């Protein structure tokens, strides 16, 4: 499914009951395979006399779907009515929708490069902060460049078979010393676990997201879900470092990453825009202000950026509401900062547009998020109708558009504003929808300026 870029796959199978033949058409999803893998691990072992075939897996998938339907009905009956909408509409996309995006329009490559720039290049602007490179070295024994080279080699494990086999060609090891059998084994050990590990974990989500490589009781290595392994390819370094600081009960990396993200956005705008098209708002006496002003002929964008990533606890189908509200509190603060900034502006010739820039995608219409944040904002903000959420990828494309075609940029902003009053959960459109409507898809030139990084990592890797 991964190799064919299929997150959903329709399968046909049949079984015989005496002389009667039953035929089935079944939809298999990438996320159900992940759940089925975990359930199989905690309920069975390697020592059966009969190996299951694909029909058995399809049957198990069907049983799992029925069980999940029953569990869903039970859970929903216990949720307060006022929390029901956000509970259903937030969790499900976080669990499922990224599977649909991971390979679309170079997403895998772009996601890897974005993280790599943020953790390898941007920290060079902050010599006084502890480098992510040092953190990664402490945990893994590899610096970021070496680890990234191992990531590229590890990504090649995704083949037609889930069974991992790796043999490093001597010519590759000679040219890239880090790619030796011993180092690849150490790399695999970071992301693999035996059955005991999975059976003992009490994570709020599938522990395969932490350790996607399964070590069987016969010492074979299996990737049961290529999509999850691909996600580790681009997120892996970030979460290794963040988990290290969480174990140490330190906020240092999260705070530093906020600095890196702000600098990343600055470098992005410097690359695409003229100096008079944007400016940074400096805070005085710890006064709450937004981060950026971005100018076009018709609009003034007031931008506050938030770098917080959701924990794995929020990426399950039914996240705890109090944990979700803790995360959304970041955006309550963003609303306040933008509101205070707007009060100081004296703009009459252009309309002010208020943007909350968040690092990762929500995979959900902003209407749902805004309704919940509105509830958390009681007494702080009069109206949220003219505030908009935008994720990093959308913002990158919006800055590219402002650079290339300001008229098209203005049309995107206008269309986004006009749909605000008539938006329903079913009809709501995001910035990416309007950008694709008014502009042809263009390559991210900002990323292309960092193309040499990928060339350095992959040079001599494929022979």
Per-domain residue ranges for the chain? 8-78, 99-250+451-458, 262-443
Please give the chain's pLDDT, 463 residues, in tens: 888 888 988 888 777 777 788 787 888 889 988 988 898 888 887 766 667 777 777 788 888 888 877 877 777 777 777 777 787 788 888 888 899 888 876 888 899 999 999 999 999 999 999 999 999 999 999 999 999 999 998 888 887 678 888 778 788 888 889 999 899 999 999 999 999 999 998 877 789 999 999 998 888 999 989 999 999 999 999 999 999 999 999 999 999 999 999 999 999 999 999 999 999 998 776 677 899 999 999 999 999 999 999 888 888 888 888 888 899 888 888 988 998 899 888 888 899 999 999 999 988 878 788 888 888 876 566 566 678 999 999 999 999 999 999 999 999 999 998 887 665 544 567 898 899 988 887 888 999 999 999 999 988 776 5
DSSP 163: B
Query: Of 311, 273, 309, nearest to 292 (Cα)?
Result: 273
d(CA 441, CA 396): 12
Query: Of 245, 286, 228, nearest to 30 (Cα)?
Result: 228
d(CA 155, CA 177): 18
CATH 3.40.91 holds for 262-443? yes
Q: How many other CB atoms are there within 10 angstroms of residue 110's CB atom?
A: 17
d(CA 410, CA 299): 7
- Give pairs for 100-109: CB < 8 Å, separation 24+: 100/7, 101/361, 101/363, 102/227, 102/230, 102/231, 103/2, 103/5, 103/230, 104/5, 105/441, 108/230, 108/233, 108/234, 109/454
Let me know: does 390 contact 369? Beta carbons within 8 Å.
no
Cα four-point dihedral sign 262, 328, 423, 88: positive
Let me know: does 387 contact 377? Beta carbons within 8 Å.
no
């Amino acid at each position: 499914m991964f190799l064919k870029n299929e997150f959903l796959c329709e399968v046909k199978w049949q079984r015989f009951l005496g002389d009667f033949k039953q035929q089935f058409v079944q939809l298999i999803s990438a996320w159900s395979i992940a759940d089925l893998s975990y359930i199989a691990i905690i309920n069975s072992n390697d020592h059966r006399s009969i190996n299951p075939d694909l029909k058995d897996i399809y049957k198990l998938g069907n049983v799992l779907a029925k069980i999940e339907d029953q569990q869903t009905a039970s859970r929903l009956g216990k949720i307060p009515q006022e929390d029901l909408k956000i509970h259903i509409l937030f969790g499900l996309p976080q669990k499922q929708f990224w599977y649909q995006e991971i390979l679309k329009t170079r997403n895998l490559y772009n996601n890897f490069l974005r993280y790599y720039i943020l953790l390898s290049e941007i920290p060079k602007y902050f010599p006084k902060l502890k480098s992510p490179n040092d953190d990664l070295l402490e945990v893994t024994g590899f610096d970021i460049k070496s680890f990234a080279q191992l990531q590229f080699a590890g990504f090649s494990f995704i083949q037609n078979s889930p069974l991992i086999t790796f043999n490093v060609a001597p010519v590759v090891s000679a040219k890239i010393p880090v790619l030796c059998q011993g180092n690849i084994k150490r790399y695999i050990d970071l992301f693999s676990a035996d059955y005991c590990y999975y059976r003992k974990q009490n994570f709020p989500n599938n522990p395969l997201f932490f350790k996607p490589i399964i070590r069987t009781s016969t010492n074979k290595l299996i990737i049961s879900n290529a999509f999850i392994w691909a996600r580790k390819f681009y997120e892996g370094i970030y979460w290794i470092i963040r988990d290290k600081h969480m174990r140490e009960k330190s906020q240092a990396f999260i705070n530093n990453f906020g600095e890196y993200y702000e600098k990343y956005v600055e470098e992005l705008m410097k690359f695409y825009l003229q100096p008079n098209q944007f400016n940074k708002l400096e805070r005085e006496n710890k006064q709450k202000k937004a981060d950026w002003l971005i100018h076009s002929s018709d609009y003034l964008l007031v931008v506050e950026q938030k770098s917080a990533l959701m924990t794995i606890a929020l990426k399950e189908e039914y996240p705890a509401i109090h944990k979700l509200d803790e995360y959304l509190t970041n955006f309550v603060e963003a609303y306040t900062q933008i509101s205070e900034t707007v009060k100081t502006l004296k703009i009459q010739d252009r309309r002010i547009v208020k943007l909350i820039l968040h690092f990762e995608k929500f995979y959900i219409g902003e209407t749902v998020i805004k309704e919940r944040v509105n509830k958390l904002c009681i007494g702080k903000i009069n109206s949220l109708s003219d505030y908009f959420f935008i994720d990093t990828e959308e913002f990158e494309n919006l800055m590219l558009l402002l650079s290339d075609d300001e008229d098209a940029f203005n049309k995107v902003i206008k269309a986004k504003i006009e749909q605000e009053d008539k938006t329903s959960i079913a009809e709501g459109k995001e910035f990416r929808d309007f950008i694709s409507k008014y502009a042809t898809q263009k390559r991210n030139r900002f990323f292309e300026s960092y193309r040499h990084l990928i060339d350095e990592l992959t040079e001599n890797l494929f022979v």
